[in-house]
Amino acid sequence: MVLLDNQAVLDALLLKANRLSESFQKGGWSCEEVSDASRFDLRPEKERKPAKKFLA
């Protein structure tokens, strides 16, 4: 059994999100499109845009 602390989990998730973001940007997505699609937005809540709906 492996025990991980919260910081280790957050660091791993941030690394994965960064890799995915880079892949999308290499595929032609803009930074804003990646942010909108992932809802990973570090701006203060009052500056955030409403979520876009994507068709599946």
pLDDT greater than 80 at residue 6: yes
pLDDT greater than 70 at residue 36: yes
Q: Among 45, 49, 44, 46, which residue's Cα sits nearest to residue 33?
A: 49
| Pairwise pLDDT comparison (37 vs 43), residue with the higher score | 37
| Pairwise pLDDT comparison (10 vs 1), residue with the higher score | 10
Could you tell me if 40 and 24 are in contact, meaning their C-beta atoms sit under 8 angstroms apart? no
Element (H, E) at 22: helix 6-26
At residue 49, the pLDDT reads: 64
| pTM, entire model | 0.54
pLDDT greater than 80 at residue 4: no
Looking at the chain, the whole-number percentage of residues with pLDDT higher than 90 is 5
